[in-house]
Amino acid sequence: MKNSKGNIITAIIWVVLILISYYFLLVPINIQSVGFWAYFCIMLLLGAGLFLLPQVAVNGKKITLKKELQVWSYLLRASMLIIAAVGIMAIYSMPLFHAHRYATLIDKQEGNFAEDVAEIAFNQVPTVDRDTAQRLGDRKMGEIVELVSQFSVASDYTQINYQGKPVRVSPLEYAGFFKWLNNKQAGLPNYIMVDMINGKVTLEKPKQAIMYSESERFGRNVERYLRLNYMNDIFGNFSFEVDEEGTPYWIIAVLEKKIGLFGGTDVKEVIMLNASTGEHQKIGIEEVPTWVDTVFESELVIEQVNYNGKYQGGFWNSIVGQRGVLASTDGYNYLAINDDVYLYTGITSVVRDESNIGFILVNLRTKAMTFYSIPSAEEYSAMESAQGAVQEKGYVSTFPLLLNINGKPTYFMSLKDNAGLIKMYALVDAEDYQKVIIGVTVEATFEMFTNKGTATTEKVSELKEQFEVIAKITDIQNLVIEGNTYYYILLEGQEDVFTANITQSERLPFLKIGDTISVKYVEEKETVNSIVKLL
């Protein structure tokens, strides 16, 4: 009777430990999850140990322990058997046995780049990458004293299309446990929005505060809240987005393994959680509203793209012959097309030379992939070419953004200094990466690239009215573009950038900051003027 009572207490302790550990570990109860099997075996062994230890402590007799040790032995063997079975299933799920199925996880369609990717104006080109957006967001928070003492900006900075323009959004988060205690009743009051075109940062206030986030503790932590509602689902990344009215949501992909028990990860459904109200629903991929931009996370897409390129000819061909084996390049970027976000990356041969055989665009909401068979420079070669044009300045290039300029694929990059600040811009012909145009503004860079650096200010002056200005130089930079030296000058009291070709005056190389100059110029665009004559 006493032994039976002790076993009941032990069982209660075991169940409590299981519930507490599950509350914090949040393992999906799903046989396709390796984490579930590991958790199951650990809890099984823990239970066996709990039932065995009291007997050791109280009785201390070998004859009494014999049965308990037998139970422990059986449970240990059961655990080892489960681990072995999981290992066998993991091996069976590998591409060695299912190469063709891995290759067909994503479908590839051929496309026409000039038709599919519309040309955009220079003032619609996104210049702000994630790193720059994060710097701008942190700076914005630093300006708001009443918020910065209690909150910080989360590192999400998800790229979305919001009301027809590319932006990055990220929620605030509590700046520590005690800040959470002080503010948990009111929730997170704002989220950050960064315009990727002009870098403007706004602190957006939703109609209702954000009550469910990754920085919440206990029941309102977004992962715990959804796990307790969807205990069997395997979650992908938690993507923070806002709809067209500015309402914040968490978008979570529900994953499944399509090959064997553990292979071929893909998305089968989507969970949408209103970050303010906690309302949630699980829907099919085809039901996802068009304002949602990210269902398939980038890493999953790249993985499937590489499976597609690697195993088209079978498993052994990917190792021995490698005939037709392709791979994505080592980076990717995003394009905003028709209110959707597309992942862009180059496709190169498995030997990884300095050229691409083409590139792909993948819709991150539907996973529709289009391949464009256009031989081009590998992205890092283009980045090195852009950096080489200003090597004396030591600027570092961002990963290229693919644009359509005059029907041709063209790499656009921002050039940053050591502090991470954008100083210049570069356009590189994707098919000939030695053709590089560098400019201090997006507008000037586009103009020079379109004209291939051959337009002279004398030709321009014949068509446009000339003006004159006398001012002190506040900054001056020079660049060599296709053999021609161009000077970019900032003048005191003038917001515009003044440009001049070396042919305009032999005095240009000797000008320095602080000199007062008198020039005639013509207005090019809103922020750029071309110097016609140095007086």
* Residues contacting 515, CB < 8 A, separation 6+: 472, 473
Task: State the pLDDT at residue 66.
Answer: 58
502: tokens are 């070396």
Task: State the pLDDT at residue 127.
Answer: 86
Distance in angstroms (rounded) separating the CA atoms of residues 480 and 205: 47
Local structure of residue 201 (DSSP, 8 states): E
pLDDT per residue over 94-136, tens digit each? 999 999 999 999 998 998 888 888 888 777 888 888 898 998 9
Per-residue HEC secondary structure of 255-310 comes to EEEEECCCEEEEEEEEEEEECCCCCEEEEEHHHCCCCCCCCCCHHHHHHHHHHHHH
* Residues contacting 13, CB < 8 A, separation 6+: 50
Rounded to 5 degrees, φ, ψ at 263 are -110, 160
Question: DSSP E strands: which ranges in 78-141?
Answer: 108-110
Task: State the pLDDT at residue 139.
Answer: 87
**Helix 62-92 with 34-58: angle, nearest 10 deg:** 170
Task: State the pLDDT at residue 166.
Answer: 92
466-534: CATH topology is OB fold (Dihydrolipoamide Acetyltransferase, E2P) (2.40.50)
Q: Would you say the C-alpha torsion 351, 353, 358, 362 has a positive or negative sign?
A: positive
Task: State the pLDDT at residue 418.
Answer: 85
Half-sphere exposure of 24 (CA within 13 A, CB side): 5
255: tokens are 């994953």
Task: State the pLDDT at residue 1.
Answer: 47
Task: State the pLDDT at residue 5.
Answer: 66
Task: State the pLDDT at residue 273.
Answer: 97
Kind plus residue range of the DSSP H or E element containing 137: helix 130-142
DSSP 469-526: EEEEEEEEEEEEETTEEEEEEEETT--SEEEEEGGG-TTGGG--TT-EEEEEEEE-SS
Task: State the pLDDT at residue 421.
Answer: 83
425: tokens are 């811009």
Helix, strand, coil distribution of the chain in percent, nearest 5: 35, 35, 35
Q: Residues of the chain whose pLDDT is less than 50?
A: 1, 57, 59-63, 453-463
Say if residue 330 is exposed, middle or buried (CB neighbours under 10 Å; 0-12, 13-18, 19+). Answer: middle
Distance in angstroms (rounded) separating the CA atoms of residues 221 and 223: 6
Length of the chain: 535
Task: State the pLDDT at residue 454.
Answer: 36
